[in-house]
Amino acid sequence: MHLAWATFTVNKRFPLTISRGTTAQTVNVWVRVEADGIEGWGEASPFGIGDFRQSTEMILEDLARAKSLLAALHPLERERVEATLLEAGVRSAARAAIDMALWDWLGKRTGLPVWAILGLSREAIPPTSVTIGINPPEVARQRVRDWLALTNAKSLKIKLGNPAGIEADKAMFEAVLQEVPQGVSLRVDANGGWDLEGARTMCHWLAERGVEYVEQPLPRGAEEQLPILYRESPLPIFVDESCFTKADVVRLADRVHGINIKLMKSGGLTEALRMVHTARALGLQVMYGCYSDSSLAIGAASQIAPLADHLDLDSHLNLVDDPFVGAMLTEGRIVPTDAPGLGVRLREMFA
């Protein structure tokens, strides 16, 4: 197979602030796999989680190494491709892009969308949340109004873990509540911004205000404290930064209620599917999330969206210059098309 790639820059309509910082622009990578006259597409987007940070430069380095490693392999040899990349130490974001491209290639080869190859039902896809970043209270209120006007969202994901402390979190959340109409559900993501005592306090406080669950209340590296919170929290606990692969699902199954799968962390759809089945076998709930992904990576995640309990696939909705068109927002749900593979194409202005 022939591996090629190109970078592209995306800009956010609303810069997103979480406990670790603010993102307004990212440089992502469009990856293409070609064999037998068919081209499959994938995307790698950078992200930062401590020592697991993967920059655009790291992704490009990994793809350059992968090109020669995969030259003698065929897109149908997905297991050999995965083993080769893992053995070579290729990091998860580059692996994710290649894996997406292999699934896209397979769909185009068969003339079927990936969701149909897997035998999934698009009617089972839950609504996606849209994200309200950390902001001063009045700005947060305006963001709620903006997002509801843009998307008619059925669910909001509120970023907390403000470095200024839990009183700042409470003030922002109360402001958000003033704008949320009846029938819109609320989730909270602290991105590891609380210590154990703060997490205890906030989980009880948020439960009184109708929140469905809390994501990553404690920092990555504090997983030994999760059993305490698991026992005491009135809200379900999901993990994101603490959970990359199926091995993490097994390790954390006795101290969380659910996991957040992101393709850039898992290394693609293939490992994401393993994580889903592992979580189900262990009685855990499943959600999917994203980084600054365009419609290409979101289109990939949407193919397996029927397997999730909760979705947070909204990054492409916040881009002013997304070069791709893929899964569509329909009544609050991100729904893949009938087109073969990932069902993603270039916008006319970029073609």
CATH of the domain at 301: 3.20.20.120
User: What percentage of the chain exceeds 90 in pLDDT?
Assistant: 94
Give per-residue pLDDT as tens, 296-323: 999 999 999 999 999 999 999 999 999 9
Q: Is 217 inside a domain boundary?
A: yes
Residue 315 and residue 208 in one domain = yes
Residue 87 and residue 187 in one domain = no
Residue 73 and residue 175 in one domain = no
Rounding to the nearest 10 degrees, give the CA dihedral for residues 153, 156, 157, 158: 140
Q: Give the residue-averaged pLDDT of 321-327.
A: 96
Q: Tokens 């470095």 appear where?
A: 163
User: CA–CA distance from 51 to each of 48, 220, 241, 249, 271 (Å)?
Assistant: 8, 10, 11, 20, 21
pLDDT at 51: 78
User: CA–CA distance from 221 to each of 207, 226, 243 (Å)?
Assistant: 25, 10, 11
Of the candidates 119, 193, 181, the one whose C-alpha atom is nearest the C-alpha of residue 153 is 181
Residue 138 and residue 245 in one domain = yes
- One-letter amino acid at 40 equals G
Q: Give the residue-averaged pLDDT of 144-151.
A: 94
DSSP code of residue 127: P
Q: Is 351 inside a domain boundary?
A: no
Q: Is 163 inside a domain boundary?
A: yes
Report the number of distinct structural domains present in the chain. 2
Q: Give the residue-averaged pLDDT of 195-221.
A: 98
End residue of a domain, out of 95, 111, 127: 111
Q: Is 131 inside a domain boundary?
A: yes
Residue 185 and residue 124 in one domain = yes
pLDDT at 202: 98
Q: How sure is the predictor about 212, in pLDDT bands with cuts at 50, 70 and 90?
A: very high
Q: How many residues does the chain have?
A: 351
Residue 142 and residue 161 in one domain = yes
Residue 267 and residue 133 in one domain = yes
| The token pair that represents 130 in the structure block | 């849209």
Q: Tokens 């185009």 appear where?
A: 108
Q: How sure is the predictor about 15, in pLDDT bands with cuts at 50, 70 and 90?
A: confident
Give per-residue pLDDT as tens, 71-117: 999 999 999 999 999 999 999 999 999 999 999 999 999 999 999 99
Residue 313 and residue 210 in one domain = yes
End residue of a domain, out of 111, 130, 151: 111
Q: Give the residue-averaged pLDDT of 194-206.
A: 98
Give per-residue pLDDT as tens, 242-271: 999 999 999 999 999 999 999 999 999 999
Residue 82 and residue 183 in one domain = no
Q: In the predicted model, is pLDDT for residue 23 greater than 70?
A: yes
Q: Give the residue-averaged pLDDT of 142-169.
A: 95
Q: How sure is the predictor about 52, in pLDDT bands with cuts at 50, 70 and 90?
A: confident
Q: How sure is the predictor about 163, in pLDDT bands with cuts at 50, 70 and 90?
A: very high
Phi, psi at 200, each rounded to 5°: -55, -50
Q: Which domain holds residue 203?
A: 116-346
Q: In the predicted model, is pLDDT for residue 279 greater than 80?
A: yes
CATH code, domain carrying 92 = 3.30.390.10
Residue 36 and residue 71 in one domain = yes
E strand residue ranges, 206-270: 214-215, 237-239, 258-261
Asked whether 54 and 266 are in contact (CB, 8 A), the reply is no
pLDDT at 251: 98
End residue of a domain, out of 89, 111, 133: 111
Residues 37, 46: Cα–Cα separation, whole Å = 30
| The token pair that represents 25 in the structure block | 């622009």
Residue 192 and residue 288 in one domain = yes
pLDDT at 348: 80
Q: In the predicted model, is pLDDT for residue 351 greater than 80?
A: no
Asked whether 174 and 168 are in contact (CB, 8 A), the reply is no
Q: Is 219 inside a domain boundary?
A: yes
pLDDT at 83: 98
Q: Is 171 inside a domain boundary?
A: yes
- The CA-CA-CA angle for residues 29, 35, 38, to 5°, reads 80
Q: Is 255 inside a domain boundary?
A: yes
Q: Give the residue-averaged pLDDT of 168-178.
A: 97
Residue 150 and residue 180 in one domain = yes
